[in-house]
Amino acid sequence: MLIVMGGLPGAGKTALARLLAARIGAVHLRVDTIEQAIVRSGVARHPVGPVGYAVGCALTGEHLRQGLTVIAESVNPLSVTRDAWRAGALGAGVPVVEVEVTCSDPAEHRRRVTSWPVDIPDLPLPDWQQVVDREYEPWDRERVVVDTAGQSPQPSLAVLLRGLEPR
């Protein structure tokens, strides 16, 4: 199956995706990692545009056709990117679950964004104003919503696992 995780920077997507991948034995595919590898190669500079998503979708399709469960994690801010992930899953003949990770407490969200460690060398992280100003279209279809405000990643994982159960 494909689990597509999206949400604004600092909401907690990466922490949740890592925990979920370890729990269910899935491949965690992070678009930030792909984009930074493209930049390090010298063929592009930030922002790289849609190329990170295109590579991510291609790799996801490969993994799905091999029978692996994939967690595709990115901001996923536009319906066009959400549709591309979904199309890849349908093309591979596997179910897809979309997950939106949020942080409903603006003060906590801001604290996360302004204090998070860089875990991908040389990846430029957005500042709070860039997160607030980022284009992010509302989701218009069924999804699992995990609000990480006020809790550590483990309780958020429990919410996510409950949301995945019926699927």
pLDDT, position 162: 96
How many whole angstroms from its chain centre is CA 65?
Answer: 20
Split into its structural domains, the chain has a count of: 1
Structural domain boundaries, residue 100: 2-164
Pairwise CA distance, residues 167 & 148, whole Å: 21
Encode the chain (167 residues) as per-residue pLDDT tens digits: 999 999 999 999 999 999 999 999 999 999 999 999 999 999 998 888 899 999 999 999 999 999 999 999 999 999 999 999 999 999 999 999 999 999 999 999 999 999 988 899 999 999 999 999 999 999 999 999 999 999 999 999 999 999 999 76
Determine the pLDDT at residue 47: 86
For residue 60, give the 3-state DSSP assignment: helix
Which residues lie across from 100 on neighbouring strands?
6, 145
What CATH number is attached to the domain comprising 22? 3.40.50.300
Sign (positive or negative) of CA dihedral 83, 85, 88, 94: negative
